[in-house]
Structure 1
């Protein structure tokens, strides 16, 4: 059976460290602790004394003064790894942790998971080919030597870098290595750890190289695991659930994130807020609970993106200059049916097209599979359609040889709608306001990836009000513009009222509009 040796790097909060060690070793696992040599020595003595009688806890023989971005973090990790390898011959896996990590599965689940999946878990992407690094130094991390800490000695750090650049002091990467990059939170099998320790004993040149790279904890283990272990035995992901904000800061979890964390495809999570006492208590009890039945829906990152990355009102950015240059043309009229329930809008425009001579195109900016004629390639991808939206619509007007045309938009496409309203062509908007049951919202959440078939009912119950409010906000923004050519068709309107609104939108007589308004099962799901 799998038994874990946790590699814990820490520098503060001795009480929490003691609790974490006792909690994780109580289930039969092990822990090797490296406490930063820069930290208060009295804190370290308190940790040693509190855990002195715990045979499943070991301490790094040598304590290293750690600094973010330095080799010292890798050196500290290696000291703790060596201590764990020597002290715990029964350990089958070695798992990197920090003091603000907590388990999100039971020990029994973790052991069974690792028994069933004989592989190493470590993010490792090609350093030069991937886009893992979003900002800051990239190639410079490797090809120049870094002996100063950017956070403590910013002036010296960049002065040394500038001197090397001006003098052309680039260095070669060890020829047999393909440098990889990824998260420092890994879980490696014992054989892999022993292979790494043996490799660095034989290859001091590799250690010298990484010793003066910048942020080596994101490249050292990632590179050596790929160098030493067959690709089929590596899964390029971390078993620690973590997220980062748009600004590169770790997302912090609080008491109300318990169910979310449990449902993620991970064994641990970071960062847990120091103030989240309830979450810490519940997750601590979970590890020793013995339960193995877990529903993994893994929607955490999609939920976070949904709630935070769409931006505030205004949606982040103004239209690009190339989106405002093209015009649909004076004298033309674009009829826009805005509806969240796409099947309702499709039924409506199919009826409009059958009853009139207006060509109707459904969600061409939302669905790649929307049938479009060959327009020279501009129609082939959603990205191209959005980038050249006015050119695309102008070509569709010309293709159909008409001056009036109807399209469908999702109400989330507010910026696109506003852009079209600003065109020289006349734009009329029919907002179709549908009723949404809880089942409708669940289906919507699954279609857009916010939930899966295994998402827990409790998670869905908390998610549904957010989705309902989001849909309501989308419609409010459309109505709040106060545009003159805006008509609203509501589910449940009497046929005569619906016909009047359709007549206004389409410019039809009352009888023709009533025929469309009474389309059978128009709002049926």
Structure 2
């Protein structure tokens, strides 16, 4: 009978990991855990202590600091796999999991399924000829070397890429390797795992190549399995049910998804919401049950596409994901710099970026060209940014892996300010009030289409009071909104007054705020 060694990569929520390990090993299966070396030492100690007496649990021999898109994720997986092969000689299959995964079938069903299907289950599509990569880099992931993390070392990441591109420093793919791509959630037979470990020891050239590719957890195992195992013994699919929205975000499952999950032709599902306590309880009971029959209809993806498609044409049967999970998060803090003169706000934000560790994004709702990371397309047009504003902001918080984020907005965007101001998150505003010369107002009128190069001077002079009053009205509307945390920084104020406003806005010491506002040309046009 099949015996599964679960390979678990995790970095948080020790209590959930302990419950997951106890549940999955209760039916006689095994688990090998790699707990991120970046995580809190006391969390790791808690897991080790709780599972010390469980003979079906082992731990990776070496803990690595992992980062999204890095080789470290593959290296950590290999550490956990190596430990599992050594500790569990009776394991017949090795199944890759995350802390967000849960079984949606019983252990009895899973063992019988693997006994009946003597195959390796791993998505493995041709890297260059398939459309698995929807947006962003493709060849660049492989032919250039990537030593830095794109999320945490962005400047170094792109500086090294641009340097290699400028100098033409591309490299060949190992000649006997056809690169494949697919989901990192696989289930492989013991023989295949042993072949991979043996290959990794012998082919240092291939290991060096993948160790400097970008997002290798989507290519390494996928490529090696196809290289080592006959095609007829590979089923190019994952046994973990997961879906993505049109914006590249994973669909999260909640308590009312129990029946839908059980009817899918998969053994596990991700992502299960941390708040779905009843779903987790029912799935935990299910895994240890015996004699359960499952009616497989496998309609999950088509049903989701149908309902979300109806939402796009205005016929809605359920809230869309950015509405059911519309809050930025009670524990998060959004900082908004509101300023009519965008160049002034950008200078201030650049100072904040240098003096603090708060990620800053400039006028993302006003400038189409505002630099934004690839978030699956939701950032691609101004219309999408406004329409899915909270989803976009949540994704930015997740992208920068932070609970504090600063953005810039124009005072005219009162609807955005009010929307974020009503969120359960803490939203702080800093209104930067500038003086407006006639020349600036004329330039503004031309930029927004109120005047042109051939507009008569008399018309412009009649227009100026209206433009000026409109800006004053925008500021008055912000005050009338009565935001809970609203600070004001005015061009005419002394530096110490401005520093107090910035200190309260950023919740930093006044000495830091003074360094931020100490800029000779902050308000210059």
The whole-number CA distance in structure 2 between the counterparts of 1:84 and 1:163 is: 41
Query: Map of 1:154-165 to 2, 5 A cutoff?
Result: 154-165=154-165
Q: Separation in 2 of the partners of 1:267 and 1:309?
A: 27
1:137 offset after TM fit, Å?
A: 1.0
Residue aligning to 1:350: none
* 1:168 corresponds to 2:168: yes
Shift of 1:292: 4.3
Aligned residue for 2:278, secondary structure, equals helix
Give the distance between the partners of 1:69 and 1:242, measured in 2 at CA.
19
SS of residue matched to 2:305: helix
Question: RMSD of the alignment, in Å?
Answer: 0.9
Contact 1:246 1:309 in 2 (8 A): no
Q: Where does residue 339 of structure 2 map in the other structure?
A: none
SS at match of 2:150: coil
- Could you say which structure has the larger radius of gyration? 1
Residue by residue over 1:295-344, the C-alpha shift from the partner in whole angstroms, topping out at 9 and shown as x without a partner, is: 100000000000113453469xxxxxxxxxxxxxxxxxxxxxxxxxxxxx
Q: Deviations over 1:337-368 (max 9, x none)?
A: xxxxxxxxxxxxxxxxxxxxxxxxxxxxxxxx
Task: Write the deviation string for residues 176-227 of structure 1: whole angstroms up to 9, x where unpaired.
Answer: 0000000000000000000000001000110000000000000000000000
Q: Trace 1:57-96 onto structure 2 (pairs within 5 A).
A: 57-96=57-96
Partners in 2 of 1:279 and 1:168 — Cα distance? 52
The offset of 1:90, in angstroms, is 0.4
1:153 CA displacement: 1.3
Secondary structure of 2:312's counterpart equals coil
- In 1: Cα distance, 2:198 partner to 2:117 partner: 24
Residue of structure 2 in register with 1:243 after alignment: 243
- Residue number in structure 1 paired with 2:225: 225
Distance 1:189 1:129 in 2: 27
CA distance in 2, matches of 1:43, 1:162: 39
Aligned to 1:187: 187
Aligned to 1:112: 112
Q: What are structure 1's unaligned runs of at least 5 residues?
A: 316-525
- Please give the residue correspondences for 1:55-454 in structure 2 after superposition, counting only pairs within 5 Å: 55-313=55-313
Counterpart of 1:32 in 2: which secondary structure?
strand
Give the whole-Å Cα distance in 1 for the aligned partners of 2:146 and 2:76. Answer: 18
SS of 1:309 mapped into structure 2: helix
Shift of 1:157: 1.1
- Check if 1:15 corresponds to 2:15: yes
Cα deviation digits, residues 42-79 of structure 1 (max 9, x gap): 00000000000000000001000000000000000000
- Aligned partner of 1:393 in structure 2 is none
1:360 match? none
SS of corresponding position for 1:148: coil
> TM (normalized to structure 2)?
0.59
Please list every run of at least 4 consecutive aligned residues from structure 1 whose deviation after the TM superposition is greater than 6 angstroms.
none
The answer as to 2:56 corresponding to 1:42 is no
Question: What SS is found at the alignment partner of 2:96?
Answer: strand
Q: Does the aligned pair in 2 maintain the 1:107–1:287 contact within 8 Å? A: yes
Q: Which whole-Å deviations, capped at 9, do the CAs of 1:461-488 have from their partners, x for residues lacking one?
A: xxxxxxxxxxxxxxxxxxxxxxxxxxxx
* Deviation at residue 156 of structure 1 after TM alignment: 1.5
Give me the whole-angstrom Cα distance separating, in 2, the residues matched to 1:302 and 1:6: 29
SS of the residue corresponding to residue 39 of structure 1 reads coil
Counterpart for residue 5 of structure 2? 5
The whole-number CA distance in structure 2 between the counterparts of 1:76 and 1:118 is: 27
What is the CA–CA distance in structure 1 between the aligned matches of 2:26 and 2:160, rounded to whole Å? 48
